[in-house]
């Protein structure tokens, strides 16, 4: 006979040292979120009506080998935690995993969860290496092992949700070795400069700084691959920080006119505390003696930005230090008018896909004209990217945009170009 399901709020609370879901929500006070509930356990509902016990020891704000207690320092140290949820495994497999973990001395077990700490100086540097290790233990049962990244910046109840939605470890990462760990550890990232020209004079105005890396054969790695690997390994904060700092270092070396601006992309969702997370970026600008008014930080959206207020705090932190801010890809994806109104960027960039179709599509041309009219009425600088044909050029010039960027005028290159490839 099938066991009747008991609503979560009616279940008997487990005895200490466990916390049921209700208790976990109550515990989401600053003290709890900051690690005050270390060594306690909280329960997650499981598909079989059982409770998955997961340690909240990972809720500490920083790892023990970090001196900065103000924020989770994954972006600096590369240290992070992966929670393995083992309730779906048979008891023999669970015991074997725990035994192996005890032998390694780097796994921290609770009733139904195993916390694996990853980092450059630790036994496991990546989730892929954890997957490879446990696959040898679990064999065909590897698909039953679920996992989730631990985020010390999340309130307790939100972290709880990530554990509830945990995916099989085998689906989180490809399991293949990638050069990401070595790239981040050795900081072997490159800046490629794509020129931006003044529409009226076609003189150089500035450059967008684009990140590149190389594999062991010296071939260029796509930035899309870098971002995908970083997402799989929960290294996006670290990659984003390194990209900003390496761009700044290479800007200092660039032999270009002193008036030139440099646009540096940043991913807003990985910046938890602007004052702290941007500290090393600001330090790099001071170290290389680059005037703040030459740097424009560009909001890049890989996913929807739900917290506009937090993003505005980030932008305010940039502006407080004298930098400008640009909103990328207006008119595409998540970059809508609400975000434009809430952020009030200094520079608006029309999305390349809209620009590329505007010469042959009345609808896309109308969208471009609407954006141009909006920028003119608010006094914001307008930049059209993705200008790749003469038809594109004629269209954006007719709109009255201020600056152009695209393959027609210049491609990304390690050496910044001064003159346009095309002159009408």
pLDDT for 304 equals 65
pLDDT for 2 equals 41
For residue 227 the two structure tokens come to 């971002």
Residue 4 lies in a domain: no
Do residue 137 and residue 185 come from a single domain? Answer: no
Do residue 104 and residue 221 come from a single domain? Answer: no
CA distance 255 to 189: 19
CA distance 268 to 2: 48
pLDDT for 393 equals 96
Three-state DSSP at 352 gives helix
pLDDT for 79 equals 86
Name the domain boundary from 126, 155, 172: 172
Residue 24 lies in a domain: no
Select the more confidently predicted residue: 331 or 52.
331
- What whole-number percentage of the chain has pLDDT above 90? 46
Name the domain boundary from 139, 172, 205: 172
Do residue 294 and residue 386 come from a single domain? Answer: yes
Select the more confidently predicted residue: 397 or 10.
397
Average pLDDT over residues 322-327: 94
Do residue 153 and residue 42 come from a single domain? Answer: yes
Q: How confident is the model at residue 31 (pLDDT cuts 50, 70, 90)?
A: very low
Do residue 295 and residue 150 come from a single domain? Answer: no
- CATH of residue 318's domain is 3.20.20.450
Q: Phi first, then psi: what are they for 405, rounded to 5°?
A: -145, 135
Q: Is the dihedral of CA 300, 303, 308, 313 positive or negative?
A: negative
CA distance 179 to 89: 31
Select the more confidently predicted residue: 111 or 337.
337
Q: CB atoms < 10 A from the CB of 13, how many? A: 12
CA-based nearest residue to 252, from 275, 260, 214: 260
pLDDT for 227 equals 92
The mean predicted confidence, pLDDT, of the chain is: 80
Residue 309 lies in a domain: yes
What lies within 8 Å, CB to CB, of 16 at 6+ separation is none
- Asked if residue 51 has pLDDT above 60, the reply is no
Query: Containing H/E element for 78?
Result: none
Lowest mean pLDDT among 50-59, 94-103, 197-206: 50-59
Strands (E), 89-188: 107-109, 113-118, 146-150, 167-168
Do residue 97 and residue 197 come from a single domain? Answer: no
Residue 424 lies in a domain: no
CB 408 within 8 A of CB 422: yes
Q: CB atoms < 10 A from the CB of 316, how many? A: 13
Select the more confidently predicted residue: 24 or 285.
285
Name the domain boundary from 154, 172, 190: 172
Average pLDDT over residues 285-310: 86
Residue 415 lies in a domain: no
Residue 392 lies in a domain: yes
Residue 164 lies in a domain: yes
Do residue 230 and residue 113 come from a single domain? Answer: no
Average pLDDT over residues 60-78: 48
CA distance 102 to 106: 7
Q: How confident is the model at residue 173 (pLDDT cuts 50, 70, 90)?
A: confident
Helix axes of 236-253 and 223-232: crossing angle, nearest 10 degrees: 140
Q: Is the dihedral of CA 116, 121, 126, 130 positive or negative?
A: negative
Average pLDDT over residues 51-55: 38
Do residue 213 and residue 167 come from a single domain? Answer: no
Average pLDDT over residues 217-229: 92
Total domains in the fold of the chain: 2
Lowest mean pLDDT among 25-29, 145-149, 339-343: 25-29
Do residue 200 and residue 330 come from a single domain? Answer: yes
Beta bridge partners of 220: 214
HSE toward the beta carbon, residue 310, CA cutoff 13 A: 11
pLDDT, tens digit, 9 for 90 and up, residues 99-143? 888 888 778 877 668 999 888 888 888 888 899 899 999 998 999
Could you list the residue range(s) of the whole structural domain that residue 129 is in? 30-172
CA distance 246 to 241: 9
Look up tokens 């307008």; give the residue.
Answer: 382
Do residue 310 and residue 349 come from a single domain? Answer: yes
Do residue 268 and residue 349 come from a single domain? Answer: yes
Do residue 364 and residue 265 come from a single domain? Answer: yes
Beta bridge partners of 167: 147
Residue 92 lies in a domain: yes
């Amino acid at each position: 006979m099938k066991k009747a399901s008991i609503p979560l709020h009616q279940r008997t609370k487990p005895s200490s040292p466990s916390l049921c879901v209700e208790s976990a929500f109550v515990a989401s006070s600053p003290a709890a979120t900051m690690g005050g509930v270390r060594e306690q356990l909280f329960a997650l509902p499981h598909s079989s009506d059982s409770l998955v016990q997961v340690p909240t020891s990972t809720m500490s704000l920083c790892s023990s080998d970090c001196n900065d207690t103000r924020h989770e320092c994954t972006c600096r140290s590369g240290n992070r935690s992966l929670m393995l949820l083992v309730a779906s495994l048979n008891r023999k497999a669970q015991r074997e995993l725990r035994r192996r973990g005890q032998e390694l001395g780097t796994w921290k077990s609770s009733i139904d969860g195993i916390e694996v700490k990853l980092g450059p100086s630790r036994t496991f540097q990546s989730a892929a290496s954890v997957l490879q290790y446990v696959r040898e233990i679990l064999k065909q049962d590897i698909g039953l092992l679920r996992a989730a990244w631990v985020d010390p910046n999340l309130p307790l109840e939100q972290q709880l949700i990530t554990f509830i939605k945990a995916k099989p470890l085998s689906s989180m990462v490809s399991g293949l070795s990638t050069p990401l760990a070595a790239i981040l550890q050795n900081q072997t990232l490159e800046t490629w400069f794509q020129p931006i020209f003044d529409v009226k004079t076609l003189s150089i105005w500035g450059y967008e700084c684009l990140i590149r890396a190389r594999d062991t054969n010296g071939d260029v790695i796509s930035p899309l691959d870098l971002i995908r690997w970083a997402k799989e390994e929960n290294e996006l904060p670290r990659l984003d920080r390194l990209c900003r700092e390496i761009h700044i270092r290479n800007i200092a070396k660039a032999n270009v006119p002193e008036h030139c601006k440099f646009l540096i992309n940043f991913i807003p969702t990985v910046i938890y505390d602007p004052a702290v997370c941007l500290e090393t970026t600001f330090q790099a600008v001071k170290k290389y003696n680059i005037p703040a008014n030459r740097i424009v930080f560009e909001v890049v959206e890989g996913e929807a930005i739900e917290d506009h207020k937090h993003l505005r705090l980030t932008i305010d932190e940039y502006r407080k230090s004298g930098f400008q801010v640009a909103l990328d890809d207006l008119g595409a994806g998540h970059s809508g008018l609400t975000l434009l109104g809430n952020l009030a960027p200094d520079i608006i960039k029309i999305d390349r896909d809209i620009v590329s179709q505007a010469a042959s599509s009345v609808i896309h041309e109308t969208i471009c004209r609407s954006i141009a009219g909006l920028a003119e009425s608010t006094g914001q600088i307008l930049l059209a990217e993705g200008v790749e044909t003469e038809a594109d050029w004629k269209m954006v010039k007719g709109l009255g945009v201020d600056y152009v960027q695209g393959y027609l005028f210049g491609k990304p290159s390690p050496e910044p170009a001064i003159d346009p490839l095309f002159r009408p």
